């Protein structure tokens, strides 16, 4: 009847929507901020957000997605811990017509229709910016770099390694002498840095630590201090995220270069989802966030800015 069809044509109100978010875990300060921003962005729009903590395990994330499907949510957000192995569960979501948005990390699938969009920074660029900064800083002088990688198999770890490696490829004076995962956590970052320092003449062979995130850099700074060296001077640092503590370290002269990543990944996904539900607008496959390099001179204003950002 006319009544039924006009009811069907009515736009879907955000207030009627429920979104399930399969979060990686709470490994870093950036991650915690992303979760809290997701909550406030949902609240702002009147969207009901259900968050499941995957505790760094893909199997937990897959279970969470299945449970969201069973609950019949209107959309599913996933921050995928690793980039492979998602096809089966995404096919289940697709079969019942639930759109999936990926937040902050990408996945590798043959069939791109298995998800609607990924909201992410250019993670290769992030690594490249730190590498470019170091190349300039060294100006031809030798520099042995140790690298603290993110979670093994995570798209961001792969991309951040790639970008940095590309940036230093044509400067033989700069070499990565050791590289290991610190799993994006402070404690692992510290532990791995301690082993690097021990293995490299109590840190004297190390010129710079490149950490795939700030939390690992902060752990590394602690390890450098405990070894009796000065972070930011004896060993330079470069890392990614822009958590308040890295700007505090910069202000203390203990950190040197930082690439900022917004914790607001959910906001753009909600915007795209609302448009899609209202009038079928298909969002771009990749929704890119802004990437910027900051140096100690910018640290105070960055710190002030972060106060309003969910940290």
Binding site for ligand GYE (CB under 6 A): 27-28, 30-31, 104-105, 156, 184, 213, 240-241, 261
Task: Strand 174-181: give its sheet, edge to edge.
Answer: 174-181, 143-149, 208-211, 236-241, 257-260, 292-294
We find the least distance from the C-beta atom of residue 93 to ligand GYE, in angstroms, to be 21
Decide whether 143 or 239 has the Cβ nearer to ligand GYE.
239
Q: How far is the CB of 207 from ligand GYE (least distance, A)?
A: 24
3-state secondary structure of 40: helix
C-alpha separations of 136 from 47, 54, 97, 131, 164 in Å: 46, 40, 50, 9, 13
Region at 10 (left for phi over 0; alpha for psi -120 to 50; beta for the rest): beta
Which CB atom, from 156 or from 293, has the smaller least distance to ligand GYE? Answer: 156
Nearer to ligand GYE among residue 256 and residue 291 (C-beta): 291
Sequence-distant (≥ 6) Cβ neighbours of residue 190 within 8 angstroms: 219, 220, 222, 223
Closer CB to ligand GYE, 203 or 242, in the complex: 242
Cα gap 247→306, rounded to integer Å: 10
- The SS3 call for residue 103 is strand
Report the residue number, 154 or 207, with the smaller CB distance to ligand GYE: 154
By beta-carbon proximity to ligand GYE, the closer residue of 191 and 241 is 241
Minimum CB distance to ligand GYE, residue 261 (Å): 6
SS3 301: helix
- Least Å from the CB of residue 46 to ligand GYE: 27
In sequence order, what DSSP letters do the residues of 180-241 get, joined into one string? EE-TT-HHHHHHHHHHHHHHTGGGTT--EEEESSHHHHHHHHHHHHHTT--BTTTBEEEEEE
Closest distance of CB 55 from ligand GYE, Å:
13
Considering the complex, state which of residue 104 and residue 245 has its C-beta at the smaller distance from ligand GYE.
104
Closest contact distance (angstroms) between CB of 168 and ligand GYE is 20
Closest separation in Å from C-beta 265 to ligand GYE: 8
The residue whose two tokens read 């010129």 is: 207
Q: Rounded CA gap, 254 and 237, in Å?
A: 8
Report the distance separating Cα 232 and Cα 18, nearest Å.
Answer: 46
Compare residues 181 and 213 and give the one whose CB is closer to ligand GYE: 213
CB of 204 to ligand GYE, least distance (A): 29
């Amino acid at each position: 009847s006319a009544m039924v069809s006009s009811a069907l044509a009515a736009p879907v109100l955000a207030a009627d929507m429920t979104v399930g978010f399969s979060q990686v875990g709470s490994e870093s300060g950036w991650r915690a901020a992303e979760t809290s921003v997701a909550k406030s962005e949902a609240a702002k729009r009147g969207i009901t957000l259900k968050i499941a903590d995957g505790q760094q395990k893909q199997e937990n994330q897959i279970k969470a997605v299945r449970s969201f499907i069973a609950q019949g949510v209107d959309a599913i957000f996933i921050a995928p811990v690793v980039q492979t192995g998602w096809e089966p569960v995404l096919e289940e979501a697709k079969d019942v017509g639930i759109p999936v948005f990926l937040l902050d990390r990408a996945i590798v699938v043959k069939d791109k229709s298995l998800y609607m969009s990924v909201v992410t920074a250019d993670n290769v660029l992030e690594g490249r910016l730190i590498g470019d900064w170091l190349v300039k800083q060294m100006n031809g002088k030798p520099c042995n770099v140790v690298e603290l990688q993110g979670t093994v198999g995570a798209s961001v770890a792969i991309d951040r390694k790639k970008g940095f490696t590309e940036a230093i490829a044509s400067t033989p004076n700069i070499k990565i002498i050791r590289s290991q995962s610190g799993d994006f956590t402070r404690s692992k970052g510290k532990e791995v840095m301690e082993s690097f320092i021990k293995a490299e003449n109590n840190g004297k062979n190390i010129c710079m630590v490149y950490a795939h995130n700030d939390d690992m850099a902060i752990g590394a700074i602690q390890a450098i201090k405990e070894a009796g060296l000065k972070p930011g001077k004896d060993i330079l640092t470069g890392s990614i995220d822009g958590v308040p503590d890295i700007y505090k370290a910069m202000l203390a002269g203990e950190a040197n270069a930082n690439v900022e990543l917004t914790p607001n990944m959910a906001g753009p996904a909600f915007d795209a989802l609302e448009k899609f539900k209202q009038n079928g607008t298909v969002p771009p496959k990749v929704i890119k966030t802004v990437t910027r390099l900051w140096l100690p001179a910018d640290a105070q204003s960055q710190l002030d800015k972060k106060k309003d950002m969910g940290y």
